[in-house]
Structure 1
Amino acid sequence: MLSNVRVALVTGANKGIGFAIVRDLCRKFSGDVVLTARDEARGRAAVQQLQAEGLSPRFHLLDIDDLQSIRALRDFLLKEYGGLDVLVNNAGIAFRGQNHIPLPIKAEVTMKTNFFGTRDVCTELLPLVKPQDGVSKMGLTVLSRIHARKLSEQRRGDRIFLNACCPGWVKTDMGGPTAIKSLEEGAETPVYLALLPSDEKGPHGEFVMEKKVEKWGPHSQLPSWLLSLILP
C-alpha cells in the first residue's frame, strides 16, 4: 500500500477536458494522478501520449455505467493508496448529429450516465476521500450540493471541499470546433478546485465558473422529492 502517497483521479479522461485536467494535475499535483476511461485501448493510448510529454499518469479502467467497474476501482484505490485525495467527475456523454434516435431514448441514456453513473461513483468513492487534504469536484450542480451537505454533516472537522463547476464552452467532441475555449483553458477551473489548499475556507457545495462562485436556484433550496430521488 502506498498510503503515504496522495492520489488524484479523473473519470472519462482519455480525451477532451478530462485529458487536459490530467495533464495539468500531473504538472501541479503532489502525488499520483490516475487517468480512467471505459475503453482500455484509448485510455492507455492517452497515458502513452502524456508519457511522451514527460508526465507519469497511471491508468485504470472505469465504466461509470457499471457498478462492478466502479467497485473494482474502489478496491484498487484502497489497496494501493488507502483512500483517495482528489476526485474529478468528468465522464459524460452527449448525442451529436444522431437525430434518428428518439428523444426519450436519448434522455434515458444521457441521464443514466451523466447523472446516475456519476451518483454511483460518488456513493462508492466519496467515503474513500481522506480528511485534511481531500478536494472533490463534480459535474452535477444539484448532486454536488447534496453530497456537500452530507459531508459537512457526517464528517464534521474534516477539511473536504466538494463543488460543481462549468469549464465553459470548450473545443471538444461535445463542444464542437466553434467553441471559444481551448482544452487547457477548459481545465483551468476544475484544476483550480482540485488543488484548493486544505486551510482555505472554501468554496464548498458551490457552483463555480471562471474560478468564481455563481449563485444558482431560488435560495439554493432543494425540494424533498429531489433529495429522495438522488439519495437511496
Structure 2
Amino acid sequence: MSAEKIAVVTGSNKGIGYAIVKGLCEKFNGSVYLTARDLKRGEEAVTKLKELGFKPLFHQLDISDQASVDKFKKHIQTVHEGIDVLVNNAAIAYKMDAPESFGEQAEKTVAVNYFGTLRVCEALFPLLRTNARVVNISSSAGHLHRIPSADIRAKFSNADLTEGWGNSAYVVSKVGVSALTVIQQRLFDKEVPNRNISVNSVHPGYVDTDMTSHKGPLTIEQGAKAPLYLSLEANLKGKYVWFDCHLVDWYGETLP
C-alpha cells in the first residue's frame, strides 16, 4: 500500500471547503485533493492555490452523481489505495427568495446534503486507512434542538437509528448529517478488525460565503478552523463540535 497520506475535501473550489484545502496543504503531511462538481471552477481554484505556493491535487466530484462518485473512488483506489482524511463539505442551501417550490427545495436539499454525503461515505469508507479521520460539515442548523417536534427529535436520537432515515429543508438535511455522524461512529466502533476511525460533525460558524449571501461575520479561514482541528488534532469520536473547537452536546435542549 502507498505510504503517502491522502486527504480529500468535497465541494472545495470555494468558501469553507477551499479554506480547508488551503489549511490542509499547510499542515497535513501528505497530498490533498480539492474536488468540485464543476471542472472549470475546480481547476481555477487549484491554480489559485498553486499561485500561493501550495500543491493540491484535483479531481472532479459531484456527490449527487453516482457515476462521478464511482469514478473518483476508482481513481483513489488505483493511484493511492487509501484515504487518511475525508472532509464531507459539499452542500447546497436555497436563498430565502428562491423561486422553486418548497417541495422542490426540500427534495433537492436533502438529496444533496444528506444522501449525497451518504453516497460519498458508502463509496469511500472502504478505502479509509487505519486511524483515518472523517469530518462531516454540519451547521448550527444541524443541532437536534432545531427539530421542533419532540417525537421526531426522539427518533433522531434513538440509539438504534439507521442510515435510512420542520419547516426548513436545510435544517432537516443538516440534522440528518449530524445524526449520520453518530451512526457512522457506532458502526466503525464495531468493526472487526477495528481501524480506529473517528467521525465527527462540526458547525463551522456563520461565514462570509456565497451560501450565506456573504452576510456571515467570519472569514473562510475562521470557518475552516474547527474542521481542520478535527482533521488533524482532535481525539474525539462521534461528537458535534462548535466553530471555536469546543464540544457541544448535540442532544442538549439549547444551542450555545
Partner residue, 2:247: 213
Q: Deviations over 1:142-190 (max 9, x none)?
A: 0111011101111454221110001000000112333121000000000
Q: TM-score, normalised by structure 1?
A: 0.88
The 5 Å alignment of 1:219-230 reads none
Partner residue, 2:136: 138
Calculate percent identity across the aligned residue pairs. 38
**How far apart are residue 81 of structure 1 and its match?**
1.0
CA distance in 1, matches of 2:252, 2:86: 28
Partner residue, 1:101: 100
Aligned pair partner of 2:237 in 192, 198, 204: 204
The 5 Å alignment of 1:42-53 reads 42-53=41-52
**How far apart are residue 97 of structure 1 and its match?**
4.9
Q: 1:180 to 1:218 in 2, by over 3 A?
A: closer
The 5 Å alignment of 1:146-161 reads 146-155=183-192, 157-161=194-198
* 1:176 corresponds to 2:174: no
Q: Is the 8 Å Cα contact of residues 13 and 22 (structure 1) preserved in structure 2?
A: yes
- Which range moved further: 39-48 or 153-162? 153-162
**How far apart are residue 68 of structure 1 and its match?**
1.1
Partner SS for 2:190? helix
Partner SS for 2:120? helix
* 1:194 corresponds to 2:223: no
**How far apart are residue 193 of structure 1 and its match?**
0.5
Letter in 1 for 2:208: K
CA distance in 1, matches of 2:248, 2:203: 10
Query: Mind listing any 5+ residue stretches in structure 1 that lack a counterpart?
Result: 220-232
CA distance in 2, matches of 1:155, 1:93: 35
Q: Is the 8 Å Cα contact of residues 135 and 196 (structure 1) preserved in structure 2?
A: no
Letter in 2 for 1:205: G
CA distance in 2, matches of 1:162, 1:3: 23
Partner residue, 2:8: 9
The number of aligned residues is: 213
Q: TM-score, normalised by structure 2?
A: 0.80
Q: Is the 8 Å Cα contact of residues 203 and 213 (structure 1) preserved in structure 2?
A: no
Q: 1:18 to 1:155 in 2, by over 3 A?
A: farther
Letter in 1 for 2:247: V
Partner residue, 1:27: 26
Query: Mind listing any 5+ residue stretches in structure 2 that lack a counterpart?
Result: 138-176
Q: Is the 8 Å Cα contact of residues 73 and 124 (structure 2) preserved in structure 1?
A: yes
Partner residue, 1:61: 60
